[in-house]
Amino acid sequence: MSGQGSTVAGRRSPLAKVLGALPPGTQLVIGGTVLLGAASYAHLMAAGYSLSKPDMASVSLLWTILMSVGLGLFFPVEQELTRIVAARMVGNQGVAPVLRRILVITALMLGLLTAAMAVAVRPLADTFFDGRVDMVAALAAAFVAMAAGNVTRGVLAGLGRFGAYGTQLAVDGALRIVLAAGCALAGVKSPLAFALILTVAPVIAVVVTLRPLLAGVRSGPSVGWTALTSGLAPLVCSTLLSQVVVNAAVVSTQLLAPDDAALVAGLLNAVVLARVPLFVFGSLQASLLAGLSAAAAAGDRTGFSKLLGRTCGVVVVLGVAGGIPATILGPWLIQVLFKADDVLGSLDFFWMSAGTLCYMLAMVLGQALLVLHRHRLQLLGWAVGTVALIVTTLVPGPIATRVCLAYTLGSLAAVVCMFVAVWFSFLRVPPAGGAGADASSPRSLVDSV
């Protein structure tokens, strides 16, 4: 019996093998990530069936700007917190000083952003929200909620508390689904109501997970402002450019064809559908960064390389598995799920799916450069990608094809640039001190490059 049991245990399913290749703790986050990803669909589906085309276009643009500017500004805060907190945990150092100073930095970023929005409230309302100032206010509130979520998740990931991390994502996603469905069933026709869901749900989710966060925060050595901002500034620029690449299609279409609300809404639906693999990849990012940071802090070159290679392999599988059905069924699905008009074809979805695969690979390579303190090389990669996107968008041709192809070529350019950067920064450099390098000092992996 024991022999049979060991044989059965040794026969792992393909899914188990894939999950086993993921960084430790990822499985705990997958459930919350999947639920939050499903919430994006439920939210946009409910809005699509409840609102007029112009109002749906306003919600689409608000969602896109939030995902572009909000993630561009505040996801770097989460990444830096994860990296620094994970490294401090390896050295058995408390993280309270880091959290206090990051909160100050985040508050300053929010203050500058909301002040700029207040000054430009009328142009923003007229350009993106059909003249509605209340939608600009809803966007500002959503920025605050997103910043709170990114700060708390950065600490939780660095502490290795992925259960609480996943809980926050799950609560956020569940509330978005319930609130969006409630608005649709109640016959709500206001775009403001659907926009405010993006504030209410994440704020409640943050409150729910404050206790496990505070339980892991203890006093420790102080940290200088320079140590936090020297890497954060180029990382914010990198992430903003990466969000331009992944979200430009909708905003570009609004600027190129401001009167085509159906195409704007349809492109957002296509972007969300083609980015299904990104929702799964989101569960990789926190534990990937924590794992790479821990390997770098311990000087474990072999572990660093294996984790990076395995993650790239999983990303390719995700991209292909999500891209094939999106290419074949995408034009039909957005009409059924989101009540979109027939404005996109299978070729558009192919370019969207190919762009998503390249974008995920660029994100993985960018994480490696971040851990190796090569923030500026990561920024260079996304700058090259952004230039490729802009050039492709400006080429004459059908707008839908141009913006979808621009996403692919921009992401591909970023991948190539960052692969070269990782290769010359790390992979080509032999371990310092030979075989014993993996057991070197906590900074030896970074110092060796």
pLDDT tens digits, one per residue of 306-352? 888 888 888 899 899 989 998 999 888 888 877 777 888 899 999 99
Res. 245: pLDDT tops 80: yes
pLDDT given for residue 436 in this prediction: 38
The more confident residue out of 201 and 439 is 201
What average pLDDT score do residues 11-32 get? 57
- Where residue 23 falls (left for φ over 0; alpha for ψ -120 to 50; beta otherwise) is beta
State how far the Cα of 442 lies from the Cα of 295, in Å rounded to an integer: 9
Alpha helices (H) along 339-374: 346-371
pLDDT given for residue 133 in this prediction: 93
State how far the Cα of 98 lies from the Cα of 78, in Å rounded to an integer: 12
The more confident residue out of 180 and 374 is 180
What average pLDDT score do residues 8-17 get? 48
Confidence of residue 246 (pLDDT cuts 50, 70, 90): confident
Res. 5: pLDDT tops 50: no
Please choose, from the candidates 1, 166, 156, the residue with its C-alpha nearest in 3D space to the C-alpha of residue 89: 156
The more confident residue out of 426 and 376 is 376
pLDDT given for residue 333 in this prediction: 84
pLDDT given for residue 330 in this prediction: 86
What average pLDDT score do residues 248-267 get? 81
Confidence of residue 290 (pLDDT cuts 50, 70, 90): low
C-alpha dist (Å) from residue 254 to 134, 250, 343, 374: 20, 6, 14, 35
State how far the Cα of 78 lies from the Cα of 157, in Å rounded to an integer: 9
Res. 3: pLDDT tops 60: no
Dihedrals φ, ψ of 29, to 5°? -95, -20
Alpha helices (H) along 51-95: 53-65, 71-90
pLDDT given for residue 216 in this prediction: 81
Please choose, from the candidates 53, 105, 39, 97, the residue with its C-alpha nearest in 3D space to the C-alpha of residue 76: 105
Which residue type occupies 32? G
Confidence of residue 27 (pLDDT cuts 50, 70, 90): low
Res. 273: pLDDT tops 90: no
State how far the Cα of 40 lies from the Cα of 34, in Å rounded to an integer: 10
pLDDT given for residue 25 in this prediction: 52
Res. 445: pLDDT tops 80: no
State how far the Cα of 43 lies from the Cα of 38, in Å rounded to an integer: 9
Mean pLDDT over the full length of the chain:
82
Confidence of residue 449 (pLDDT cuts 50, 70, 90): very low
pLDDT tens digits, one per residue of 38-74? 888 889 889 988 988 888 888 888 988 898 888 888 9
State how far the Cα of 359 lies from the Cα of 385, in Å rounded to an integer: 10
State how far the Cα of 276 lies from the Cα of 356, in Å rounded to an integer: 9
Confidence of residue 228 (pLDDT cuts 50, 70, 90): confident
What average pLDDT score do residues 91-96 get? 79
Least confident of 18-22, 181-185, 221-225, 299-303: 18-22
pLDDT given for residue 11 in this prediction: 53
Res. 101: pLDDT tops 80: yes
The more confident residue out of 68 and 5 is 68
DSSP 220: -
CB 184 within 8 A of CB 111: no
Q: Which of 28-37, 160-169, 398-407 has the highest mean pLDDT?
A: 398-407
pLDDT tens digits, one per residue of 416-434? 999 999 888 765 544 444 4
* Tokens (6 digits) for 110: 């929010």
What average pLDDT score do residues 248-257 get? 82
